[in-house]
Every structure is written in structure tokens, then in C-alpha cells.
Amino acid sequence: MFLFVDSEAIVTTQTMPLRREFSVEGEHRYDRRGPVRWVLSHMLRYKGFLFSFFIASTVTAALFSAVPALTGRAFNEVLKPAPDARQLLFIGLAMLGIVVVRGGMDIVNAFSIETLAQRTERDARQELYISLLGKSQTFHNRQRVGDIMARASNDVRQLNPMLNPGIALLTDSLMSILMPLIFISFIHVQLLAAPLVFLAIFAVLLRDYTRRLNPVAAEIRGRFGDLNAGLNETISGIEVVKAAAQEAQEKRKFARHARLVRDFYVKEGQVQARYLPILFFGFALTAAFAHGLWLVQQNVIDVGQLVAYMGLMGILRFPTFISIFTFSLVQLGIAGARRILEMLDEETEMDENKAGHSADMRGDIVFDQVSFGFGRTRMLDGITFHIRPGQTVAIVGQTGAGKTTLTKLVNRIYDVNAGRILIDGVDVRDWSMAALRSQISTIEQDVFLFSRSIRENIAFGLGNKATEAAIVQAAKDAQAHDFILSFKDGYDTVIGERGVTLSGGQRQRLAIARALLTDPRILILDDSTSAIDSATEDKIQQAIHRVLEGRTTFLITHRLSMIRRADVILMLDKGRVVDSGTHADLMERNALYQRIFARYF
């Protein structure tokens, strides 16, 4: 169906630059102007395997069609009053040679298409993964994790069976149509009447079959994505489900999604059940035999040629029968490719700006009339302030005032809607993304830890560059060293996903150690000591105060002990900076600030 696409159009890749926050040097570009072009551009990356597959498939089909022709010659020889033994021996040896060569071609065919399928799946998975890494936080906020996982695993996996056995059998089918027609034409051109009429009807019925199958295949992939997304959400929030005793409700929700997946698979079976070409092939075979007998009676062909003709007609049964299976695989693969392309082509707001400004930060930060919001919801409005290098700034305000959102603009998790943010006099949008983010560390209240060893989690910001001594020192500065050694495997202890095997305080101390290890020029602490007891918090504050001398620090906290150490306090209310100053200044003149900290007095 798509084997006739112009190869020159296929190899043409996108010329428009891709907006994303991360890319790989020398990354291969694929044609994303449609799912078929995209799959073919992946296949054409390995032209050698593609060429050997087509050659092997063509030779195999030709040899397969040669067998009925030789059988017809043998039949004529046997019908002679005095058969030529040497001629029969030659035919027998020729058939043996065909079997041997065809066996070798089958090996080449299978190896080529299997290698092509595996590499296409691998490359597509890698392309999607790199694309997801380069998408903005706004993009990921819009997505359901389970649906992304379904596309990255099942939809990408569907490309493999689409190629092998899907495309492999489809190509074999095409060759199994073309070669018998060529051999039949050599017997007698009139014999082409029945197969050509059948093939015309077959093409019409096949087009109708694929037209009805395509939307069903798309629904199967989409409903499976919904099923996977719901499952992921339930398992991620299993603690909430159990605490609220809502297992029955979640079971009904899962059963509803599973039922929809089942229903569309049943609908696919109904489409396949109404597949008519196999029935018409029976009529075609009968008509061909009748036509052949008539030509024998007219002495146009002999009996041996009739035998060869019917043998060649029998080969057409393979593409007729196998198409019900291959086109289903191909349609599922194309539906999966379309879902992958939707993810790859999803608009992302920011670019990595490789050629942008790159330098060691001093930590001078200016917010100049900064406004930000999602859609029509304005979260920050006209924010203006200046932080000098090495200053510690506390951001205070009631829930929803925009404190965390403000800090996420510094390292470009989000981009401003209006105004600008300068670091060392350079707009953050003009910085290289890697240079910007590598010098800013964030420790949030909701700490995320990977299901890896404690050592790997602390060293995450530096990867293989982190030394053992530096990891241990960062853990000591974060007051985490002692509890790490209390585990049987120490720093090699593998923690559960998201750090669920640790207490809240332990998770936050590991996050602080991870941030300290990167030696950031700008540090953002977003209520990062909320789950730590007072005694440990004092030690951590002392460590942070010692380690971060000369570094610019943002503090989002309501802990008075930390706020008092800030050089300046920004008071936020409804997305605006309504006041700034020291703790004493704000306690004296700002009623909102007084209400927030009244409980301490």
C-alpha cells in the first residue's frame, strides 16, 4: 500500500529547527510529515538491509513460481509414450536446486527484515525518549504519564510486528502476485484474464477493508493509552486509594477502560470476519480452471501448461489469505506511529539555545516588570526587584501567592509572559539552557528520588563526575551521613521509587545533599526543611549557611528561624510584591506579614 511512495520524498527530512530544551549531537533526523513517511525514513536509514530483504523476497517469489512451471513440463514429459529419463532427472535436480537456493534466500530475507524491525523499534524509542527529555515543563504538565508510557512502550513496540511479519508478508504477497502473473503471461497471454479480473476485485475489496479497519486500529491504540494512564494514576496514588477505601471504585474504572479496549478488539474481529477476498478467490480459481480447460480443448495450451497455470493460480491464495493478517498489523503499526508522531510534534515553548550566553554566574538577579500566567490565569503581575550576588532572599506569602512560580522562572522551567529576568545582566532567555540550569539547584518540598542507590541519587546532578569523597561530604553537610550509614548497605542502599522507603526528613536531606554537591551559584529552597525536626534543621541551616557563602539563595519558607537569616524578605500577595525589607521592618509595618507570623508570638 505504501511501497510506491517516491523515495526522494521519503529521504527529505524536516528543515524547520526543532524547539526543545535538550538534543543529542549528530542526532539523525527523520521525515515527520506523516506516519508512513516517518516509518519509511526509519527503514531507509538501513538501506543495505532493506535492499537485501527486497532482493531475497523477489528471488524467493520467482523460485516459488518456477516450481509449477517445472511441474507442468514434468507432467508433459510423463504423458509421452516414451518419457525422457534425463529430462525428468534435470527437472528433479532443478527443483532440488530451487529448494536449496530458496532456503538460503529465506535466511537472508528473515535476517534482513528482523534486523530492520529491531533497529527501527530501537531508533523510534530513542527518538521519542530524546524528544520527551527536550519538552518543556508546560508540555509535561498537560500530559498523562500513563499515556506517555503507553506510547513509549506499546505504540513503539507495535512498529516491530508491523515490519516483521507485517511488511515482510505484505512484500512477499506483492511478489507472490507479480511473479505468477509474469510466468502465466509466458504460458499464454489469454490466461491472464481470470487472475487480472480477480486482482481488480481484490484491490477494491482490500481498500474497503483497510478503510474500515483503520479507525478501529486507531481506537484500539487510543483506548489502550487511556487504560494505561488510569492504571498508572491509580498505582501512583495507591496510598490515597487505600486510605479512602476506594479500591472498588478504582476497580470499576479499570474494568470500564478494559471493556472499551476489548470492545474495539471485537470490532476489529468483526471487520476481519466480513473479509470477502478469500470467497472471491474460490470463484476466481473455478473460473481459471474452466477457462484453462476451454483453451486446452481449443488446442491453445497443452495439459502440462494447464497444470502449471493452476499451480501458479494457487500461489495467489497466499496473498489473498495472508492480507487479512498483514493489513491488521500494518494498520495497528501506523496507528501507533501516528500517536508517536503526535507526541514528537507536540509544540514545546522553549529551546536549549546552544549558542546562547555561557559563563560562570555571579548570581546577580533582576526581575523587571515580570508577569506570568497559564492561559487567562495571571499568577504573577509586574514583579520587580534586584538581588545582589551572595544575598539570601526569603519569599513569604499566603498559599497561592505565587512564591514557587516565581522561582521556577529563574531557571526557565517556565518563561515569562511579559517583562524580563536578568542574571548577571543577561536575559535568562539569552543564556544557553545547559549553562543556566547547571548553575542553579532547586530543593523542593515534594522531593523526587529515583529508584537507585543513595550514592546515585546524591550524585545525580554530576553523574560520573562526582567523587566518593565529594558525595560523602555533601551528605555530611546535609546531615544525612549518619542515617545513611545506619542502613546495611550504606551508600549502596537502593531506595524505593520516589524514595518511599525513607522518611520525609531523610528524603529532604538527600535532596539537599544532591543540591550541595553541584556547587550551585544560585540555590532555591522551596520549603525544603518542612519535614525535618528542629534539631536536625538547625544543623542543616548551619551547614547551608557555611557552604553557601557567596551564593545567591532563594528561601520559600514560613520558618521564622530561616527567615531571620535572610538579607531581604519579599512579601507576595496575589502575584504582586507588596512589600520588602528585613523581618523587623515587615513586622513593624505590614499587617499581612504580622498575621502570618502571629503564631510565633
| Four-CA torsion 310, 316, 317, 320, nearest 10 degrees | -150
Q: What distances in angstroms separate CA 69 from CA 51, 65, 167, 294, 301, one per listed residue?
A: 27, 7, 28, 20, 13
Specify the pLDDT at position 117: 95
| 3-class SS of residue 593 | helix
Q: What distances in angstroms separate CA 387 from CA 42, 90, 403, 579, 580, one per listed residue?
A: 50, 94, 16, 15, 12
Specify the pLDDT at position 12: 35
| 3-class SS of residue 73 | helix
CB atoms within 10 A of CB 517: 24
Residues 70-103 have pLDDT tens digits of: 998 888 888 888 888 888 899 889 999 999 999 9
Comparing C-alpha atoms, which of 347, 280, 348 is closest to residue 320?
280
| 600 band by pLDDT with thresholds 50, 70 and 90 | low
Residues 304-350 have pLDDT tens digits of: 999 999 999 999 988 888 887 888 888 889 988 998 998 888 877 77
CA atoms within 13 A on the CB side of 359: 12
Region 284-299 average pLDDT? 92
Residues 510-528 have pLDDT tens digits of: 888 888 888 888 988 887 6
* Res 8 pLDDT > 50: no
Region 348-361 average pLDDT? 86
- 365-600: same fold as 30-344? no
* Res 294 pLDDT > 90: yes
Specify the pLDDT at position 280: 87
| Grid coordinates of 9 | 520524498
Q: Which has the higher per-residue pLDDT, 393 or 546?
A: 393
| 14 band by pLDDT with thresholds 50, 70 and 90 | very low
Summarize the chain as % helix, strand, coil (round to 5): 65, 10, 25
Angle of the 277-297 helix axis to the 303-315 helix axis, nearest 10: 170
CATH code for the structural domain at 30-344? 1.20.1560.10
The whole-angstrom separation of Cα 150 and Cα 226 is: 9
| 3 band by pLDDT with thresholds 50, 70 and 90 | very low
The whole-angstrom separation of Cα 29 and Cα 127 is: 9
Region 278-304 average pLDDT? 90
Specify the pLDDT at position 544: 63
| Grid coordinates of 500 | 518511599
* Res 242 pLDDT > 70: yes
Specify the pLDDT at position 6: 36
Comparing C-alpha atoms, which of 353, 386, 351 is closest to residue 368?
386
Specify the pLDDT at position 540: 63
Query: Would you list the DSSP string of 170-185?
Result: HHHHHHHHHHHHHHHH
Strand order of the β-sheet with 426-427 is 377-387, 365-374, 418-423, 426-427
Q: Residue ranges per domain, the chain? A: 30-344, 365-600
Comparing C-alpha atoms, which of 530, 540, 534, 531 is closest to residue 482?
540
| Grid coordinates of 470 | 565529594
Topology of the domain covering 365-600: Rossmann fold (3.40.50)
CA atoms within 13 A on the CB side of 66: 16
Q: Which has the higher per-residue pLDDT, 501 or 247?
A: 247
Q: Maximum Cα–Cα distance for the chain, whole Å?
A: 125
Q: What is the DSSP letter of 463?
A: G
* Res 22 pLDDT > 80: no
Q: What is the DSSP letter of 574?
A: T
Give every CB contact of residue 185 below 8 A, 6+ residues apart in sequence.
191, 192
| Grid coordinates of 40 | 519509511
Contact (CB, 8 A) for 56 and 109? yes
Q: Mean pLDDT in the chain?
A: 85
Comparing C-alpha atoms, which of 309, 277, 304, 276 is closest to residue 290?
309
* Res 291 pLDDT > 50: yes
Region 362-389 average pLDDT? 90
The whole-angstrom separation of Cα 109 and Cα 168 is: 8
- How much of the chain exceeds pLDDT 70, in percent? 92
Beta bridge partners of residue 477, listed in sequence order:
none
Specify the pLDDT at position 535: 64
Beta bridge partners of residue 368, listed in sequence order:
420
- How much of the chain exceeds pLDDT 90, in percent? 34
Specify the pLDDT at position 47: 94
Residues 565-591 have pLDDT tens digits of: 788 999 998 889 999 888 888 888 888
Strand order of the β-sheet with 568-573 is 440-443, 522-526, 552-556, 392-397, 568-573, 576-581
The whole-angstrom separation of Cα 560 and Cα 570 is: 14
* Res 532 pLDDT > 70: no
Q: Look at the block and give the residue holding cell 512502550.
A: 153
b/e for 130-140, b at 16 or more Cβ within 10 A?
A: ebbebbbeebe
Q: Where are the alpha helices (DSSP H) in 432-549?
A: 433-438, 454-458, 468-477, 481-485, 504-517, 534-547
| 428 band by pLDDT with thresholds 50, 70 and 90 | very high
Q: Which of 70-74, 82-86, 112-116, 593-597 has the highest mean pLDDT?
A: 112-116
| Grid coordinates of 412 | 526557565
* Res 109 pLDDT > 90: yes
Region 136-149 average pLDDT? 80
Residues 35-58 have pLDDT tens digits of: 999 999 999 999 999 999 999 999
The whole-angstrom separation of Cα 97 and Cα 70 is: 12
Residue 83 φ/ψ region, left for φ over 0, alpha for ψ in the -120 to 50 degree band, beta for the rest: beta
Q: What distances in angstroms separate CA 281 from CA 128, 261, 293, 468, one per listed residue?
A: 42, 33, 18, 72
Specify the pLDDT at position 591: 85
| Grid coordinates of 85 | 529419463
